[in-house]
A and B are shown apart, each in its own frame.
Chain A
C-alpha cells in the first residue's frame, strides 16, 4: 500500500510555478529521502501533503485520503517537523511539547522523557532562549514522542551538531524497525545515504530521478581514470564524455553508459597503459543534478531578462 501518492502535482505562487507536475509515491514502511537544490520545491511539496498549502492541480494523497479535504483525518496518523521551527517565545520547551502532544491525542510520558534525555534537551527554558538547534530538537522530540504511522521531516538536521545528528539517525533507524513510514527532505547526503531506502531527486518542481541508492549508482555514468601512450587531446569533444581532468599522465573523466563502447574504442586507439572504471560516488551523482539545476535556472533567468 502507498502511504503517500502524488501524481502530476502542480503548484503556482501567483505567476511563479513552484511545482510543475511532480510524481512521487512512498510505500508503507519505507524511508524516502527527498533531495534537491535550494528552491527546488521540497518544502512546497511537504506543505501540500500536510494540507497547509493548496495544490493548483494534480493529486496528493496520504493514507489514500486527499491531503487538503481530509487533512484532519490524516493528521491523526502523522507528525511533522518543519523546516524552520518557530515557537511561542514566552512558553517553555516542556509546555510546547505537552501542548503539541495533547493535540495529537495525549502524552506518552515515557517516550517524552526518553527522547528528552536522548537529545539532552532542557525543557524548563523559555523558547525565546533556545538556539536554532535546540528549537529543532524540541520539534523532533514532539514529533517522535507521538505514536503515529508517518513522520515527515523537512531538513531535520540542519541545525544539529554531529553528536545530535547521530542520535537523530538512530531514532530514524528505530522508526524503520517499528515499520513506520518516513519522508525526509535533506541536504545532508550522509544522512540520506545512511537512512533512506529510496531517494527522489527533485529539481525545478519535478522529480528527475528516483530509486534505491544502488540503482542510482549503477545508472548513467561511470568515472574512468586512464593512462595512454599518446595524449588524449580530443577526448572532451567526444559525445558522452564529461568533466575531463588531467593529472600529469593520468586523465580522469565521467562517461555516459550509452556511449561507453565508442569511448573505449577511442581510448584503445591511443594505446591504453592502465585503466580504472568505477561507479560514481553519491556525491558525484547528486552534484550532477544540483549543477544542472542551477544551470537551468540561469537559462530561464536569461530567458526572462
Chain B
C-alpha cells in the first residue's frame, strides 16, 4: 500500500460533502430528532410502568431479539429504558446510513462512470475508498453527537449520553468497512448493497440469538446476553452499558474491526479494475435461453437475484424466530401475577413478528418496483419500448413480480415460522392467514409505489423511501412505542392490520388490497400517457 495511491483523497472528501451534504444532514437530523422524541415520550412513563414493560418483554425470548440487555438497577431509569426499547431501531438506522454512504461514494459513482473521470484526474487508486471510509467515519461521529444532544436536552447525563451515541457510531463504522469490502468484491451498486444487507442481517441474527440465549435476571427484571454477543458488533454496542459500567474498552473492538476490514477492502482494490468487481465477469452465454426471450422471462431474470436475496433470509428468520418463540410463556405460566398476561402475549408474539417482517418487506417492494425506474432512467427501456412490446405489458411483468413477490415473502415468513411453532398441521392456516393480513399494507404500499412511478418518475425514489419509513414508524409496532396520536397512526396502513387474524377486520384488509390495486391502476394509466423521462 503505497502512500501516493492516496493522492487527492482530501479532494474527494470535499467533493462528497459538497454533493451529499443534504443527505447527511437528513440522516443526522433524523437520528437526533428520533432520539429526542423517543426519550421525551418514554420519559412520561412512571418508574413502575417501565418496570412492567421491561418484565413483559424480558420474559419472552422472542421479544428479547428486538430489545437490548438492561441491568436490574436500570429497569426503571429512562436513560437505560429508552435504549432497552430503541437499541434495535438505532442500530438499523446507523447501519443503513453507513451502507448508503459507502456504497454511494464507491460503486454508484463507478457505475455512473464518474469514477473513471476521477481516476484519470490524478487521484490515487485508494483515494476513492479511503475518502468514502473517512466520510462514513465522520458522519457517524456527527450522528453520535446528534444522538447525545437528543439525550442531553431531555436532561440526561452528558458523559453517559456521549458514550451511548458513540457506541452506535462504533457499529456504524464497522458496517461501513464491511460495505467497503462488499463494494470491492461485487460488480455493481445493487449487489454491493445486497452483500452489505446480508452482512448486517448476520450481525442481527447473531445478536438476536445472543439475547435469546441470554441470562434473565430474577423476576425478569432485565437480562444479560450470552457470550454470542461478542461475535457481532451489534452485540458490542449493547455491551457498552453507557449509563452503568461504561465499558470503554469495547471501542477498541470497533476500531480494530474497522481497520482490519478496511484493509481487506484495500487489498481487493489492487485485485480488480475500475468498474469491475473481483467476483464478476466470467464468460457467458452467446444465446438467450428460450424462457428469457419472453418479456416476463426477462423480468424474472432481472428480478430473481433480488427476490432470492430476500426470500432465503426471510425463510431462515422465520425458522429462527419460530424456534425462539416456541416455548414462550411456558416458563411463566405459574407466575402468580403475570401468568395470564404472558400466555396471551406469547400467543400474539409470532403474529407481531410477522407484522414486523411485513414492514421490512415493504423495502423489497420498493426495490423490485423501482427497478422500472432504473430501466427507464439508466437502463435500456428506450430500446425495449421501440419494439412492438406495448408499454403496459412491459410494466405488468415488473408489477407482477413486485406485488406478488412481496406477498409471497410475507407468507414465506409466516409459513416457516409456523412450521416450527404449530402443534397440529391444522394450525398452519391461522398463521398463513396472519401473513395475508400483514401483507395487505405491503400490497397497498406496492400500489402507491407504482402510482408514484407513473405520476412523478423523477421523485419516486425519494418519496417512496420517506413514505415507507413514515408508515413503519407510525404503524402497529412502532406507533404505540412512540406514543403517536391516533390521527397520525391511522395514516399508516400497518395500523389497520391487527396482529391476530381473529382481531383483524376483514373489511379493512380487503380495502387495503383494493386500494393497492387502484393505486397500481393509476400508475399504469399514468405511465401509458406520459413521456419517458431519462
Contacts and interface: CB of A to CB of B under 8 A. Distances in A.
A86 interface: yes
A103 B295 CA distance: 8
A50 B381 CA distance: 13
A129 B276 contact: yes
Interface in A154-191: none
A204 B45 CA distance: 68
A89 B380 contact: no
Given A52-B531, A99-B298, A103-B295, A139 B187 contact: no
Q: Kindly state the interface size class of chain B when it binds its partner.
A: 35 or more
Most buried by A among B111, B187, B288, B302: B288
B285 A94 contact: yes
Contacts of A244: none
A88 B287 contact: no
Most buried by A among B187, B378, B387, B390: B387
Given A52-B532, A86-B380, A103-B389, A124 B284 contact: yes
Given A72-B390, A99-B292, A52 B382 contact: yes
Contacts of B530: 54
Interface in A66-89: 72-73, 75-76, 78-80, 82, 85-89
Contacts of B294: 102
Interface string A94-111: 111011101111000000
B379 interface: yes
Most buried by B among A80, A88, A103: A103
Contacts, number: 108
A95 B298 CA distance: 10
B308 to A, nearest CB: 14
A86 B381 CA distance: 8
Contacts of A52: 382, 385-386, 531-532
Interface in B369-428: 378-380, 382-390
B387 A95 contact: no
Interface string B147-162: 0000000000000000
Most buried by B among A53, A94, A99: A99
Contacts of B386: 50, 52, 75, 78-80, 82
A91 interface: yes
A34 B437 CA distance: 58
A-B CB proximity, top 6 nearest = A92-B284, A98-B288, A102-B293, A103-B387, A95-B288, A80-B386
Interface of A: 47, 50-54, 72-73, 75-76, 78-80, 82, 85-92, 94-96, 98-100, 102-105, 123-126, 128-129, 139, 142
